[in-house]
Amino acid sequence: MIVRVSGEGQFRLPDEDADRLNELDNRAVAAVEQGDETGFRELWSQMLELVASDGNALDDEELVESDVILPPRDVTFAEATGEFTGDGLIPD
């Protein structure tokens, strides 16, 4: 799975991490829908950590279509309410 973090680049995430990222995404959607900014921040941090720790950064010259595009690291909660909705960033 190719994951782009807006403003940072692309990462090749092992397929076995796709379900974990999707689970975190679904939980982040629920936190946003409940107005739980603290919960969202924790889940968002976990999502970014998963991509950074398990993913391999792609070279900037390597052009690959992203399977998932994550908002920038510094996404505000107000911005998240427009992005973390419905099926989330990763459709089930």
Question: What are the pLDDT digits (tens) for 53-65?
Answer: 999 999 988 889 9
pLDDT recorded at residue 92: 62
pLDDT recorded at residue 60: 85
Question: What are the pLDDT digits (tens) for 7-20?
Answer: 999 999 998 999 99
Percent of the chain with pLDDT over 90: 80
Q: Model pTM?
A: 0.89
Q: What is the 3-state secondary structure (H, E, C) of the chain?
A: CEEEECCCEEEECCHHHHHHHHHHHHHHHHHHHCCCHHHHHHHHHHHHHHHHHHCEECCCCCCCCCCEEECCCCCCHHHHHHHCCCCCCCCC
76-91: average pLDDT: 85
